Structure 1
Amino acid sequence: MIKIIAVLCSLSSPTNCHEKTVTTSDSANVSMQSCLMGAPQLAEWMKQHPGERLAAWRCVIGNSDSRSA
């Protein structure tokens, strides 16, 4: 399983950033290549969270806990 870890920053406070594991119903089908190219799942998740700005993302194979940025 490949997880997408996004670094998100608040639009109202741009220095307030945090890491979040981005999951959707399609997350189990994410390939490493798709993740590295900016997975469609990430774009869909961002549409549902308009108050945050995507600062960065990374791809993690297997289980990994998210941590503060």
Structure 2
Amino acid sequence: MIKIIAVLCSLATPSNCHEQIVTTSDFAEVSVQSCLMGAPQLADWMNQHPAERLAAWRCVIGKQGGRGI
């Protein structure tokens, strides 16, 4: 499974940023190449969260350890 971890910033307070896993069941079929290019599903996810701006993202294969993400 590929996880997409996004860095999201509030539009109201641009310096207020956080990381969030944006992977849903829709992302189960995302390839590594598609993820690295920005995964069209990521744009759909962002359209559903209009109060946030996508500052960056990264792709993680399998389980992500360390920081609880």
Counterpart contact for 2:8–2:17, Cα < 8 Å: yes
Aligned to 1:62: 62
**Percent identity of paired positions between Structure 1 and Structure 2:** 77
Q: Is structure 2 residue 36 aligned with structure 1 residue 36? A: yes
Q: What is the correspondence of 1:1-69 to structure 2 with a 5 Å cutoff?
A: 1-64=1-64, 65-66=68-69
Cα RMSD between the aligned structures? Answer: 0.9
- Quote the Cα distance in structure 2 between the aligned partners of 1:56 and 1:20: 11
2:26–2:41: 8 Å Cα contact kept in structure 1? yes
Contact preservation (8 Å) 1:23, 1:41:
no
Structure 1, unaligned stretches of length 5 or more?
none
* TM-score, L = length of structure 1: 0.90
Q: Deviations over 1:6-36 (max 9, x none)?
A: 0000000000000000123321101000000
TM-score by length of structure 2 reads 0.90
Which runs of at least 4 in structure 1 moved beyond 6 Å after TM superposition? none
